[in-house]
Structure 1
Amino acid sequence: MTKIGTTGARAGMVPLALLAVLAAGCGTQRAGGDAGAGGPSRSAVASPSTPKDFPCPGESPTASPQPSTATPSPTAPPTDHYAENHGFMIPFELHGKRRCQGLAAVARVREALEPQRRRGRFSPESVRKALVGLGYSGGQVQAYPGDGGVGFLIQVDDYPVCVEGSLAGNPDLDGATTKADAFGGYPDHEGCDQPSGGH
């Protein structure tokens, strides 16, 4: 009986000793002490890095930077929580090879829709047919009536790389325009369609 009790006491002391060792290492730096002498300063906080972009095929090396869809990092506490609560609706930017893939998809889409833009005759059906003609499956393409024209959304691949835009206007009056932009989906959401709710 004595042996069992001793073994139990020793087993209980191992976590207690480990806790004592861990606690001894905490709080050894005093306020006003030299933080840089023995290690990194407290101000050296790791921040996520943005992948470096490079010129894509057909793009000049001095291309103008794309507008950022990312929210700026807060330097002061936000005055309201609108941006925080609606962050799930801000699409991811594409970088590196995925950015080049997105730019190539945008160029193909613009070229496919150019005949309809010049004629000024387009409908959701004709836009969808032109985009499916590029090799995208019917499930990857959405075309719908939009502000004075037709809006479209394509899921180029499963990353996802998405292309969203519109074909609108009248070439005889104000000129028809084709708008198309590539992005990388949304936070906490699969696919390319903008989520209606988040957390």
Structure 2
Amino acid sequence: MTKTERLTILRTAPLLAALALLAAGCGTQRAGQEVGDGGPSRAAVATPGAPVDFACPGESAAPAPTPSAAPSTPATPPTDHYAENHGFRVPLQLHGRSRCDGLAAARRIERALEPLRRRGDFSPQSTRAALTGLGYADGDVQSSQSGPTGVSFLVVARPLCLEGGIDREKTRVDAFGGYPDGTDCEPPAGGH
């Protein structure tokens, strides 16, 4: 080894040792110290909260909470994973202004279809005519027979989806925001 090589090694050795010490001391948790126990803490990260809903015109002061018949977490984990595997088929709920728009559109459709129900007119053609009469484009309205005395329908009114039916007992309309997989207002057919 030449004198120049030896001097280079002697000059770089302290730098390498200092770097090794700095790298080893980067952690904030000390041996025997619990996480979050008096050490430096990370700044809080903003997390999205629950969507804000408010009373819409024609609605009582507080939106009715969705009833929950079962506890949110079962005592034993499910083995069939049905809910997990079919979550993509659950429609997206509307919140805020969109929710109010959806409720207003649903009331409008109910008012238009109720006379058909009272007359006992359960034909998909009459339902389609009533919905297109409200201004929905013919290509955005689907209606189909649902038994001998019922009609189901789907209206694509971007960004809203309006789905429901009429039968002898009632007129039902639900507004939602599409599906998580991006299939617009059509329920997804796939899965795994």
TM over 0.5: yes
Structure 2 counterpart of 1:85: 85
SS of the residue aligned with 1:50?
Answer: coil
Consecutive unaligned residues of structure 1, counting only runs of 5 or more, are: 1-16, 170-175
Query: Are 2:191 and 1:198 equivalent residues in the alignment?
Result: yes
After TM superposition, list the pairs within 5 Å mapping 1:37-116 onto structure 2. 37=38, 38-39=40-41, 48-66=48-66, 77-116=77-116
Q: TM-score, normalised by structure 1?
A: 0.71
Counterpart Cα distance in 2 of 1:81 and 1:21:
48
Cα drift, residue 139 of structure 1: 1.4
Distance in 1 (alpha carbons) for counterparts of 2:143 and 2:23:
60
Give the direction of change, closer, same or farther, for the CA distance of 1:162–1:33 in structure 2 (3 Å limit).
same
Compute the TM-score of the two structures, normalised by the length of structure 2: 0.74
Q: CA deviation at 1:67?
A: 5.1
- Match for 2:181 among 182, 185, 188? 188
For 1:136, the equivalent position in structure 2 comes to 136
2:166 is matched with which residue? 167
Aligned residues: 168
> Structure 1, residues 96-132: CA drift from partner, whole Å, max 9, x if none?
0110011011001001101111111120000001001
Structure 1 stretch displaced more, 95-104 or 79-88: 79-88
Q: Which residue matches 1:13?
A: none
The answer on whether the counterparts of 2:54 and 2:62 sit within 8 Å (CA) in structure 1 is no
What is the CA distance between 1:21 and its match in structure 2? 7.1
Conserved 8 A contact 2:29-2:35: no
| Amino acid of the structure 1 residue aligned with 2:172 | K
C-alpha distance in structure 2 between counterparts of 1:83 and 1:22, whole Å? 46
- Compared CA separation, residues 34 and 191, structure 1 to 2 (3 A): closer
Write the distance in 2 (CA, Å) between the matches of 1:142 and 1:21. 68
Distance in 2 (alpha carbons) for counterparts of 1:23 and 1:187 = 45
Paired residues of 1:188 and 1:198 also in contact (CA < 8 A):
no
Q: Give the CA deviation at 1:74.
A: 8.1
**In the aligned structure 2, how far is the partner of 1:181 from the partner of 1:103?**
8
CA RMSD, 1 decimal: 3.1
Letter in 1 for 2:36: A
Give distance in 2, aligned partners of 1:112 and 1:141.
14
- 1:105/1:156 contact within 8 Å kept: no
Structure 2 residues without counterparts, runs of 5 or longer: 1-18
Q: Is the 8 A contact 2:117 2:171 kept in 1?
A: yes
Deviation at 1:190, TM superposition (A): 2.7
User: What does residue 155 of structure 2 align with?
Assistant: 154
